[in-house]
Amino acid sequence: MLTPNAMVATFIRVTGIDATYQPCYTRATLLKQFPAFAANEPFVRELLGMVEYIIEYGYYRPDRDLLWSRQIDPQTLTWESFLRQSAWRGEHQTFGVG
């Protein structure tokens, strides 16, 4: 599994774009990084709730890794493969959210 810093290092290596990891553990830090989220309070609460869960219980589990993901979806990509195949370069994405 990749740490946030390892994800950033991979992003830099693949895209050549300088980036830094900016943790968003509080409302203030979340809205500093993503000010547009302030218009959707339920979304902000949901995101912060997910962060609290991850901090308390952990994000990774021994039984949930890339092999497990590929059992669910054989086309699951690694982070590096995703960056290479999608050509994503850090621009804002909505992923279907209006």
The predicted pLDDT at position 69 comes to 81
End-to-end CA distance of the chain: 30
Q: What is the mean pLDDT of the chain?
A: 87
Q: What is the pTM (predicted TM-score) of this model? A: 0.71
pLDDT over 90 (residue 19) = yes
Stretch 17-39: mean pLDDT, rounded? 92
Kindly state the tokens that stand for 72.
Answer: 């669910």
pLDDT over 80 (residue 51) = yes
DSSP state of 77: P
| For the chain, percent of residues with pLDDT exceeding 70 | 93
Stretch 20-37: mean pLDDT, rounded? 91
- What does the alpha-carbon distance between residue 80 and residue 16 come to, in Å, rounded to a whole number? 13
